[in-house]
Amino acid sequence: YDPGDEFKSPPTWKGNYKFQVAALAVFPGGIEPNDEQRSLAVYVHLLESRGSNAMDSLTLKIKLLNHKDPAKTITWTSVHAFDEMDQSWGCSTLIPLEDIKKGGLGWLNGQGKIVLRAAVLPSSVGGPNPREIRRRGRASNSASGSPEAVSESSAKRAKPQ
């Protein structure tokens, strides 16, 4: 993957929302640089909404499958309310690109590709934001130093020149 490469899923409807998943190979340190490490960023884009309950809070889940050891699959979860100004949400630094490229770690499937799974679910009203990332069977949240969830609109400004 080269810095700035973007890979998009086909758009799909989930209830009253039309979404698309985008994976970005960015440099350095994901969308918001915090070190000199190239990282994979993954976002869910809201393309369209319909109905009276549009813009309710939704739970977003993104999984990066590990083909060698399923227990090492990375799962990122966040609750987000999309609005007119914020149409994208995701994880700015899901995994370092160098980890993906190491064949023995299990991130690439038999065809040499990563497999991402994304889910958009209704969130519980009034519940806490379960923003977390699971790595190697451990959960952590943003308060303990795991990657922050950020809007992609800020990501576009942070791309290298």
Q: What is the DSSP string of 41-103?
A: EEEEEEEEE-STTTT-EEEEEEEE--SS-GGG-EEEEEEEE--SS--EEEEEEEEEHHHHH-G
Q: Are 59 and 82 in contact (CB under 8 A)?
A: no
In terms of phi and psi (left: phi > 0; alpha: psi -120 to 50; beta: otherwise), the region of 17 is beta
pLDDT band at 38 (very low <50, low <70, confident <90, very high): confident
Q: 3-state class of 143 per DSSP? A: helix
Domain span holding position 118: 5-152
CA 15 and chain centroid, separation: 20
Residue 106 has pLDDT above 90, yes or no: yes
Q: Kindly report whether the global pTM for this prediction surpasses the value 0.85.
A: no
Establish if 159 belongs to a structural domain. Answer: no
pLDDT band at 109 (very low <50, low <70, confident <90, very high): very high
Quote helix, strand, coil % in the chain, to nearest 5.
15, 45, 45
The structural domain count of the chain equals: 1
Establish if 83 belongs to a structural domain. Answer: yes
In angstroms, the CA 88 to CA 155 distance is: 10
Establish if 160 belongs to a structural domain. Answer: no
156 or 55: which carries more pLDDT confidence?
Answer: 55
Report how far apart, in Å, the C-alpha atoms of 105 and of each of 17, 116, 126, 134, 135 are.
Answer: 35, 16, 39, 16, 13
On the question of a cis peptide bond just before residue 160, with omega within 30 degrees of 0, the verdict is: no
Residue 133 has pLDDT above 50, yes or no: yes
**Dihedral sign from CA coordinates of 122, 124, 129, 130:** negative
Establish if 161 belongs to a structural domain. Answer: no
pLDDT value for 32: 53
Establish if 157 belongs to a structural domain. Answer: no
131 DSSP assignment = -
Establish if 20 belongs to a structural domain. Answer: yes
Q: Nearest 5°: phi and psi at 82?
A: -70, 150
pLDDT value for 29: 46
pLDDT band at 74 (very low <50, low <70, confident <90, very high): very high
CATH number at residue 135: 2.60.210.10
